[in-house]
Amino acid sequence: MSVRSSGACGVALLIAAWGLAPFAAAAGPPRSRESFNAGWKFARFGPMPDGSRLPEPGAPRWKIPARASSEETGKNNTADAALDGDPKTRWCAASGRKDEWLAIDLGPSPKVAALAIDWEFPDLRYAYAVEASDDGQAWEVVRSVEADHPVEKIAINPGRRLVRIRVAAPPAGKWASVAEVRLFDAAAKPVVNERVDQGETPAATGFDDAGWWTLDVPHDWGIEGPFRDDLPNDTGKLPWKGIGWYRKAFAVPAADRGRRVFIDFDGAMANSQVWLNGRLVGGWPFGYQAFRLELTPYLKYDAENVLAVRLDAEKWGSRWYPGAGIYRNVWLVKSSPLHVAHWGVFATIPALNDDAGTVSLAVTVDNQLDVDALAVVRAVIYELDEHGAVSAEVAEAKAVERSILTGGQAQASLSAVVPKPRRWDLESPRRYVARVVVERSGEVVDVYDQPFGFRTIEFTGREGFKLNGKTVFLKGTCNHHDLGPLGAALNVRALERQLEILKEMGCNALRTSHNPPAPELLDLADRMGFVVMVEAFDCWKTGKTAGDYSALFDEWHARDLEAMVRRERNHPSVVMWSIGNEVAEQDGPELAKALADVVRSYDATRPVTAGCNNPEAGVNGFQTAVDAFGLNYHTDDYARILEHPGNANKPIYTSESSSCVSSRGEYFFPVKRGRDSQANFQISSYDVDAPPWAQPPDEVFAALDRNPRFFGEFVWTGFDYLGEPTPYNSDATNLLNFSDPAKREAMKAELARLGSLKVPSASSYFGILDLCGFKKDRFYIYQARWRPDLAMAHILPHWNWPERQGLVTPVHVYTSGDEAELFLDGVSLGRKKKAEFEYRLRWDDVTYRPGVLKVVAYKAGREWATDVVATTGPATKLALAADRAEIAADGRDLSFVTVTVADAEGRLVPRSANLVTFAIDGPGEIVAVGNGDAASHEPFQATRREAFNGLVQAIVRIKPGQAGPVILRAESEGLDAAQVVIKGR
């Protein structure tokens, strides 16, 4: 099957952050869009960072409360869950210790005369005691129950205030866990627990928030820490689960009467509810999805308005660190009642050649007037320069009229021909903007600007992916949305820096794993020249972890798909829609087809795909539901899927590849996959290790070269991310990667072993770059593969091994050349040439002695590139380097400063772990620090950090409007200090 599209699309309305200059007609009436990020009040409730629990003001509370010796707050397995009447929830202790207990306060319900315990595992046996107390200090045993003699119901003396279930011995391998405690009165009738209102909530206009923090969004409350050993490492050991309230006071002038006022959230994690002046406006549960709410009916003019937002991340489940809070941008939009609808322009390109390009604009107009209206809709096309600024007018679309009933919508189809269009492509990502104008009775009532690009895409089974008629191999990376030390809070410069580094490596494609991205990511992809697979979900009906999207799927999946596609379908960078990642429902096409049809109803110009970790999905019919089939891992199944009858014309690629794991600057011996590559909660950077379902990059390259019909790969992952520290995690979702029963059982045993260890690891090891964006060795094997015309060579490991004097210490070289010669102190150790399906050169018999390693790489017989690694001297000084020495003084732009622990010659000293302390002079702030160590629990919001293998990072911003220079100083005991100057503009 061939999937062909000539749709070329662009970004959303007026993204000022990237130079899309506000047009005079759009900056004020009839339409405005202003940042709503500044000046929020914030407070947190429910599970707190220190492990305590703070009641939510005014929140309903249980009439019969419960508490416990410990509870799995990170998984919502709290004491109250055992008395909530829901058998699907549970209390679970936070350890497997004996004598964990669950206490129930019967004070308000003195009629309770008996209880029955529904254990989480009813077929197993628990030894426990039911105890009673009047003061919580002296406890009297009511009944002891042996494991071999279970009882159904236990009588309690009515009038006792407190009852406690103390688990003397849980079943082998299990922790104390109760699904439900059922209470009964003297007549054996159930006593039902109820929620009781507790007064005014923060949604009320007059609520006293004077003691709350004042902050600007985007904001992620989880990244503030601290790291806690008792929290799960699959979500980063950070206290993100909680309930957050945000409140913002603002005024709307009387001049805005008659306009429509909306608030746009680009994302709020999670389960958002929004009130204005005490009245519920709406919300959206999926924290990754953008949404709009209309404020008009609830506004006060020339008076204070109070917007309140409640987020409940406690009830959100995730396999990685999701962050928590209003972590993306918020916008206040004002328009006339007759206006272009939200995401109401869809630009497609029905015809394109070098002489002319036709852009078709499907425009949806809303009539919120109280009368019918005759709307005149027209458009003018402008070029955008490389910075997104408006350039010359190039075409005009003929106006059309539409009669729209009051409260109704109408569609207007416009078309314009642009002479000699400049195409959007990876090397020259040129864009245009369609300014859509709505008039009524000769008056302009709305102006809406929709950027787009001229380009064609085509996916075929034989020739792969074509952009503008040219075959392009997708050199992609998967990435989660967090920004390392900055957490999940959006920062455009941090995103841009990530893409700059990926571009340097040769990456040309991005997968938004596993959720809709911040719109700014796609704006950057449009501007910088990446193609993007936008992904919707990590699960469908069957979940992977408690509280995940499966709980929302039935009610929300169609709305979330609509929102994702309508928001992103105007980006030229977007080339595929993914409806899911490694979902459980890969046994047939039915559900996948239903979701794909939803996507196609909003955009038929791009293929629908999914990332499948079950290779049978490529042959069992699932593949027929998608336009392009994505296979995660399973390199041994490439050929079988390609050769399956019916797949001859199916576009196929690897939607998730490699999952190689490594720690920057760590090397272990022997150089061997598995336990030999793992020590001290780090993983060898020889790049030979991967989880059992995954492969080092060399094996993926070979599989792709043997199966050239695969049109690309998306490597897991570009950057390390918070959470999911495989192989040092006990996350049961790892079992989803195995279809073979024997391999599943082996993995289950490994997870059980890890569950018994105190594992510090809090972030992943999958990244080609570490959590700070420092390059691991693996960066260079991909650069050699993806940029074959770049003259480069890279030696690993470092050459500081005093404990290996005289021992064999293998040396590997990554190069874009085809052969290389290695020298130690000028003596040749041999010249090697890459064999077919070989992607690194190895000298596995090098005996270590201090000195200088040098490699000379050759291509087609000519010298091509060199690299040198030398034994360094001891650390004597710090060296600082800023990625940019001048940044905007707006409080948002960032400078990323790298601190190197260096010897007297300025060379990085491997394995150095010096504590670096920072100070700043001038109007600047240290936003975060980091070092890329996945096992470190040092806080990110700090002014000190230990080096990890010689490197530390400090992230600096300049306070808004204060452009004076900032001096960042770094000191470490016994080393010469250093400083760097950052100017503001």
Structure tokens at 294: 């209309």
Q: Yes or no: say if 846 and 799 are a contact pair by the CB < 8 Å rule.
A: no
Is 643 an annotated catalytic residue?
no
Rounded to whole angstroms, the Cα distance separating 665 from 933 reads: 10
Rounded to whole angstroms, the Cα distance separating 572 from 562 reads: 18
Rounded to whole angstroms, the Cα distance separating 191 from 112 reads: 7
Rounded to whole angstroms, the Cα distance separating 902 from 645 reads: 60
User: Which position among 582, 585, 666, 724 bears the catalytic label?
Assistant: 582
Structure tokens at 725: 């520290």
- Residue whose token pair is 């040769």: 506
Q: Walk across the sheet containing 464-467 and list its strands.
A: 3-5, 457-460, 464-467, 470-471
User: Which position among 496, 656, 699, 713 bears the catalytic label?
Assistant: 656
Q: Exposed, middle or buried, 462 (CB in 10 Å: 0-12/13-18/19+)?
A: exposed
Residue 746's H or E segment, with its range, is helix 741-755
Sign of CA dihedral 412, 413, 417, 423: positive
Residue 683's nearest CA partner among 933, 908, 931 is 933
Q: Yes or no: say if 726 and 658 are a contact pair by the CB < 8 Å rule.
A: no
| CA Rg value for the chain | 30
Torsion of the alpha carbons at 723, 729, 730 and 733, rounded to the nearest 10 = 50
- Residue whose token pair is 């599970």: 47
Residue 112's nearest CA partner among 64, 68, 61, 150 is 64
Angle at 37 between CA 363 and CA 328, to 5 degrees: 70
HSE-CB of 933 using CA atoms within 13 angstroms: 24
Output DSSP code: residue 835.
P
Looking only at the bridges linking them, the beta strands covering 3-5 and 100-105 are unpaired
- Residue whose token pair is 């000195």: 851
Look up residue 824 and give its amino acid.
Answer: L
Q: Is 631 helix (H, G, I), strand (E, B) or coil?
A: strand
Look up residue 719 and give its amino acid.
Answer: F
> Which residue(s) pair with 167 in the sheet?
100, 128
3-state SS track over 49-91: CCCCEECCCCCCEECCCEEECCCEHHHCECHHHHHCCCCCCCE
Is 582 an annotated catalytic residue?
yes
Output DSSP code: residue 16.
G
Residue 39's nearest CA partner among 238, 322, 266, 304 is 304
Residue 579's nearest CA partner among 525, 617, 636 is 617
Cite the DSSP H helix spans in 466-569.
492-505, 519-528, 553-568
- Residue whose token pair is 């009511």: 142
DSSP codes of every residue in 98-152: TTEEEEEE-TT-TT--EEEEEESSTTS--EEEEEEESSSSS-EEEEEE-TTS--S
Structure tokens at 18: 């990237």
Cite the DSSP H helix spans in 572-713.
590-602, 638-643, 697-706
Q: Which positions ≥6 away from 145 have C-beta within 8 Å?
A: 126, 127, 128, 129, 130, 151, 154
Residue 747's H or E segment, with its range, is helix 741-755
Cite the DSSP H helix spans in 340-443.
none
Structure tokens at 380: 């003018």
Catalytic residues, by residue number, are: 582, 656
